[in-house]
Amino acid sequence: MFQQNTQSLRTGMIFMAIIFFILGFITNFNMALKDQVQTTFDLGAAMAQLVNGVFFFAYFCFSLICGRFVKKIGYKKSVIAGLVLVMVGCYLFFPAVAEEPSYALFLMAIFIMATGVVFLQTAANPYIVALGSQATAPARLNLVQAMNSIATTIAPFLVGLFILTPASLAIGPRAVQTPFIIIGTIVFLVAAGVYLSKLPLIESIDTPLVQKKVWQHPQVLLGALGIFCYVGAEVGCSTQIVPYLEEGGFAKDEAGRLVAIYWAGGMIGRFFGSIILSTLKKPKKYLYSLCVIVFSFFVGWFIFSSRFVDGVFVFSSQLLNGLLFLCITIFNFIAMLLGKGKPGISLGVFGVIASILVFAAFLLPVSIGMWALLAVGFFNSIMFPTIFSLGVKDLDANEMPMASGIINTLIVGGTVVPLTMGWFTDHIGIGVRIALLLPAICFAYIAFFALKGSKIR
């Protein structure tokens, strides 16, 4: 049960939005470092993927444990614990990349930071679901995930501008010292704000019977596998963008900056998801969606047009690329309408389209295939919140933390799938392309879960 206090509920959603912004920024800032780390430590593609692999392996290690902690100490204390661990991990990057950089210590800092993120994910997702009716849970989750996506768009854009430049690559990992000190300090301030705030109280009871019941819900287990496929495919595609574009003649810093387009698509799609899957009346849905469409043009135009040259910001207008981004946005909106406002159908449509786009990137030349690969971000958009909400549908508040722990455990897909793709890249002649078949298979399973698996009770 949650206390019906409008002000405290609003406060809860505001803090959850801030936390999801932090989650998105940290996750994607970390993922975008793969190419910097690979160059600095002279690693193969598979070893460089450990930057992401260690991050997502923390979910496998601690999600179920965190689910139990949430039930014992409550959502608020769990969120604070997660933020503190993130802060500690961020500060550890400073000694990890000091005079004699240590890849082992670098990975340890990532693992500690990721453990904090696991706490936040395990506590925040069921908390948001429990803040209102289950019918509007996908809309609430998509709304906070949209904040997550704003951060995931900014992070690789900043990495491409400041960290993957020739000058920063020459410095090595020390280029990330100051950014992580800043991030750690901001996380500390947010933790203090959460500690001093009055968040809505959600009570639950932990018994062996409750834990046993959770494992008897097929939608939870199938949803967990859906999360495995989604995170694996999303991370795998994002980490293949730079080597894929380099095959087409792009410079590393330019390719790294364009990864932001992939994540910007996720941001736009989640804004659509929070609108279309809500209980708003149709005229308002269309009005707000039109605003998002207009906004998307400026986002795409700005990312394509902005760059740093020798430390100087340069804006060279690329109107055509901005218009192409706008066309993909409109296609994404039409696909969202095909879902008729129903989460399961919308997820199924997006799973099918994402699978086709990845396969198209595998077949087409880079000059065309890059647009298919970058467009996948649009169709990733609603997947995590929708898979999660369908996976915990029909569960009561007592079962939520345990179910969240089970589902979040399989975020380890973000380790398994990219590492496997890295192996393909290293050992097969057309590795960058052949590796894309794995995300295509993952998206096909998500379509199955959406249209069939999520209905099994």
Q: Report DSSP letters for 170-218, one per residue.
A: HH-GGGGHHHHHHHHHHHHHHHHHHHHS-PPPB-----HHHHHHHHT-H
- Which residues, at least 6 apart from 170, have a Cβ–Cβ distance to it below 8 Å? none
pLDDT in tens, the chain (457 residues): 444 456 666 777 788 888 888 888 887 777 767 767 777 777 777 787 788 788 888 888 888 888 788 878 887 888 899 999 999 999 988 887 776 777 888 889 889 999 998 888 888 877 787 777 666 777 777 778 778 778 877 776 677 666 666 666 666 666 677 788 888 999 999 899 888 877 766 655 555 555 567 777 788 889 999 999 999 999 899 888 988 998 888 888 788 788 889 988 988 998 898 888 777 888 999 999 999 999 999 999 988 887 766 656 677 878 999 999 999 999 999 999 998 888 889 999 999 999 999 999 999 998 899 999 999 999 998 898 889 888 888 777 677 777 878 888 888 888 889 888 888 877 776 667 888 999 999 999 999 999 988 876 6
**What phi and psi, each to the nearest 5 degrees, are found at residue 28?**
-80, -30
Question: Rounded to an integer, what distance in angstroms lies between the CA atom of residue 376 and that of residue 257?
Answer: 16
DSSP 8-state assignment for residue 395: -
* Own/partner pairs, 339-343, CB within 8 angstroms, 24+ separation: 339/276, 341/276, 341/277, 343/138, 343/277, 343/382, 343/386, 343/389, 343/390
* Cα 400 from Cα 126, distance rounded (Å): 6
C-alpha distance from residue 326 to each of 181, 296, 301, 321, 383 (Å): 36, 6, 9, 9, 21
Show me where the domains of the chain are located.
6-455
The tokens for 67 are 């689910």
| Cα separation values, 65 from 56, 96, 135, 336, 432, Å | 15, 27, 29, 36, 36
Local structure of 285: helix, strand or coil: helix
Sequence-ordered alpha helix ranges (H) in 392-430: 400-409, 413-427
Q: Which amino acid is at 222?
A: L
Q: Is 342 in a helix, a strand, or coil?
A: coil
What is d(CA 185, CA 32) in angstroms, rounded to the nearest whole number?
21
Q: Which pLDDT does position 1 carry in this prediction?
A: 42
Residue 115 is encoded by which pair of tokens? 């453990």
β-pair partners for 315: 306
Task: Give the pLDDT of residue 163.
Answer: 66
Q: 6-455, which class in CATH?
A: mainly alpha
